[in-house]
Amino acid sequence: MTAVAVIDAGGANFGSVCYALERLGVQPRIVRDADGLRAATRVILPGVGAAAPAMRLLRERGFADVLPTLAVPLLGICLGMQLLFEASDEGDVNCLGVLPGRVRKLQADAGLRVPHMGWNVLQPLRASPLLEGVGEASVYFVHGYAAPVTDACIASCTHGAAFAAVVQRGKVAGMQFHPERSGVAGARLLSNFLQWSGA
């Protein structure tokens, strides 16, 4: 049986992610310290908030040492995805360092609001089981910082400039948007992660 551990790192979207998983027939296990990750076959790191306090909490609860060494698929959502990178301009903080690159503030421009809030279209960059059946779907974003488009980026999005919307490297994946608030496409993305071997 798939044991899905959802990390409670104080993010406001924690409950909605759990409800989305339950709608897919999965009863997630809520984890509040690194010891709770034992026996998990999937780990999800949701997050809404700021990078510096989130990283402080992850360090205090032992997650910062364990997450980079996981041997099972790991999914970061929204801030949780940003924390997978080396560092963030938000609070000038070192993050988990699982993915290379630095998260930067989105730049406002004429007619372009920051934070980026609302629906936007995914642009797949390469094939992945995580994107199976999704294509150029519209998904729901709420963020003021974004990760760069690197070799780990499998789908981008544009808000002024292109940024990483879905990332994958080894058994590590991330979604900058909120799949739990993205309707049918979001449910499919979560379902794909639940079936993903990490290969």
Give the type of residue at 120.
N
Give the type of residue at 163.
F
Residues 26, 41 contacting (CB under 8 angstroms) = no
Nearest CA to 182 out of 129, 90, 120, 115 is that of 120
Give every CB contact of residue 82 below 8 A, 6+ residues apart in sequence: 47, 51, 76, 88, 90, 95, 103, 143, 145, 146, 147, 174, 176
Residues annotated as catalytic (active site), given as ranges: 78, 178, 180
